[in-house]
Each structure stands twice: as C-alpha cells, then as structure tokens.
Amino acid sequence: MIFKAFQKKAPSVSEVAEFDVELRGVSKSFRGETVVREVDLQIAPGEFFSILGPSGCGKTTTLRLIAGFEHASAGEVVIQGNSMSRVPAHQRPVNTVFQSYALFSHLNVAENVAFGLKLQNLKRQEIKERVEEALTLVKMIDFAKRLPQQLSGGQQQRVALARALVNRPAVLLLDEPLGALDLKLRKEMQLELSNIHQDLGMTFIMVTHDQEEALSLSNRIAVMQGGRIEQIGSPAEIYECPRTPFVADFIGDTNLFLGRSREHGNTIQVSTDEGLDLVIQPRYQLPSPMPEDVVVSIRPEKIKMSLQPQANQPNCFEGRLRNVMYKGTHAYYRVELLQGKMITVMYPKASNNLPSPTTPVYVLWHPADCLLVWEPLPTGKATPTEEEH
C-alpha cells in the first residue's frame, strides 16, 4: 500500500543536490582516539544504504555524525547540499530509529509518535491524522494508548519507526534497528522495513553488524573496519568481489590463503604460505605492478570435492575429511589438506556414505572463482568502487 503522506517531500534544495547525504573526509576522535577516519560517502536520494561492520568499527559514530549527536573533528557532513557543520541535531532534516528504541516512557504510543509533529506547531487535526497514518503503517494503531513499557520489543521497534517516519524526514537513520529482536521477528521486520522503504521512497541509512540483513535490504553497503570504509558497493559486489581481505573474510564464509603473487600471462599464480600453488584468473582489472603480498579467497560453495584425483587440473589438492556440519539445506565439509591447511567446502546436501578419515579426498576449484585481494594502499583512503565484475 502506498501512503501519499509519506512520499518523500521535495524541498527545493534536494532537487539541486545530487546526493541526500554526503560525508567529505569526516573524522571523529574521542579523547585522542580516532573512531572514524577520513570517511567519504555519497548517498543518493531514495537509496537504502547500509553501514556494515563489526562492533567498534565506527559505524554507529558515523551515523551519529549524520544525525548531529556528534560533531566531526575534521571534514564535513552535507545533507541535501547543505553543510551541517553548524546545524544542531534538532534542526537537521533527518530522523533516527535508535537501537534501544529510546521511546519516551512517560508518553503513550500516540504521544510518542506525535512528539515531533507537535514541535512543528501543526494543527491538532493534522497531527492526529498523521499519527494514525504512521501507526497504521507500522501496524500499531491498536496500541495507541499503551505506554512503551507495556509493549514487546518488536512493538516498541515499530513505534520507534513510526515516531521517526511521521516527520517525513529527508533521510531516515536506523541504528541497529532490529538488533534486539529474535530471529523470527527480525526476518519479519526486515521484510516490513524493505516494504516501507519501497513505499515511501525515502533515503534510509542503516547501521548493522548483521551482514545478512545488510545484504538482503540494501541498495548499497559500506563495510567499515577500524574507523575506515573498506569497501562500498552493491550487495553483490561486496559479496562477489571483496576488495580487501577484511571484507572477504567478514562477508559470508570463505577460505583465505596468504601468499605471494606472480603474473603468468592471463593468469596469476600465488604460492601460499602453506606451500600450495594456486592459479587465479582475475575477474577485474588488477593494478600494475601487482602487489606482491596478496590474499586469495575461495567461497566454500565454489569448491568441488571428489574421491578421484583430477589430473592436469589447476587448484586441485588432496586432503582428508575431518568433519561434517549439517545445515539443513546444505552441509559444510571440513577437509584438511596434506599441506596442513583446513578448507571448508559447501555442498547442497550431506552424502550418505562419507569417506573415512583415512581415505584421500580431492578438492578442486576453478581459477575464475578465486578472488584476489590485498591490503589497501597505505594512503588511508578506502578503495573506490569500480563498476565491473
């Protein structure tokens, strides 16, 4: 269903501004400790943008810098073309859904949602209508007279969402919005968030540590670590083409090999620390000269397993099956290579007659399925995104 009232309002500024939110070289330090380092971001109107990273990576601070709860030590936050350097939180055209919901415990659900509207000196009737609309949108209209502490976590989450949405902000900020919900509810809310985003066409910026959530909801994702943005790209880019060892490791399951690279015609050969020789067919333009120390990532689902040695095939290694983790739709096999490296292989289902721990098994993958990543250049800047696969 479409709620006209929530359609993104079109202030004159946003029409001229190419981006809804722009961060230009933003850094933030707390008592000498740098939490956010020279972050550059451009978020287009209507995007569902996620900032993904482990805890302590600076993602929440980045969001708070956009909301105005923190002020950048260096750099500039621009919203809809206007610098926010001197604009306090309460004057910024953004609204936030907090991780802890931060509902006003002394006000009931309707009053919570009406809080922002009342501050805009709107007419009673309009406030009433918009509150009802917002509560209907998040399916909380029946709970309008309840106090927040009488609601479940999921219900509180919906109220928090309605309270932010009702103000029709240019940008909605979501700080781990589903972090406190149980798995089933989280899935449900993910779907609803996605629907609401599509219905309203508003810019969403969500902070999360849940890669699955980020991958399934976002148009684009920024992966952060140690205060830096490691990579920005679509979910597919991030998953398929991680540009740094961290991203490769953090997003999805993978097998990583550290080694030294050597160009060999169209392919690249990598001798790993364990003594394996890998052949790689890169899928994107590599820098020249090629960095010597590289990391090779192979996703478990790209690896094939066989009981027969595959002669003359590159990237085929002998090992022994160590254990099996059954996951329902698929299973993980842990294979220890002769060289001592433990490899994870994913197969759609578990085989009924597993090889014994003493039987040799062979793992094998295509050179094009190898991802070559390397540590970012020591300029401190995140690698810029490239539009290719």
Could you list the residues that contact other proteins (CB under 8 A)? 67-69, 88-91, 94-96, 98, 100, 102-108, 111, 115-116, 119-120, 145-147, 150, 163-164, 167
Contact at 8 Å (CB) between 122 and 116? Answer: no
Question: What one-character DSSP code corresponds to residue 288?
Answer: S
Contact at 8 Å (CB) between 221 and 197? Answer: no
Contact at 8 Å (CB) between 314 and 265? Answer: no
Minimum CB distance to other proteins smaller for 140 or for 298 = 140
* In the complex, minimum distance from the CB of residue 109 to other proteins, in angstroms, rounded to a whole number: 9
* In the complex, minimum distance from the CB of residue 110 to other proteins, in angstroms, rounded to a whole number: 8
Minimum CB distance to other proteins smaller for 208 or for 261 = 208
Pairwise CA distance, residues 378 & 314, whole Å: 33
* In the complex, minimum distance from the CB of residue 173 to other proteins, in angstroms, rounded to a whole number: 8
Minimum CB distance to other proteins smaller for 144 or for 290 = 144
Minimum CB distance to other proteins smaller for 4 or for 31 = 31
Minimum CB distance to other proteins smaller for 145 or for 262 = 145
* In the complex, minimum distance from the CB of residue 375 to other proteins, in angstroms, rounded to a whole number: 36
* Helical H segments across the chain, by residue range: 12-16, 59-67, 109-119, 124-137, 153-165, 183-200, 211-217, 235-240, 245-250
* In the complex, minimum distance from the CB of residue 145 to other proteins, in angstroms, rounded to a whole number: 5
Minimum CB distance to other proteins smaller for 80 or for 261 = 80
Minimum CB distance to other proteins smaller for 76 or for 142 = 142
What contacts 24+ positions apart, CB below 8 Å, involve 80-89?
80/11, 80/13, 80/14, 80/17, 80/20, 80/170, 81/13, 81/14, 81/16, 81/17, 82/13
Pairwise CA distance, residues 381 & 349, whole Å: 42
* In the complex, minimum distance from the CB of residue 69 to other proteins, in angstroms, rounded to a whole number: 5
Tell me the one-letter amino acid at 213. E
Neighbours of 274 (CB within 10 A): 14
Pairwise CA distance, residues 37 & 74, whole Å: 9
* In the complex, minimum distance from the CB of residue 81 to other proteins, in angstroms, rounded to a whole number: 20
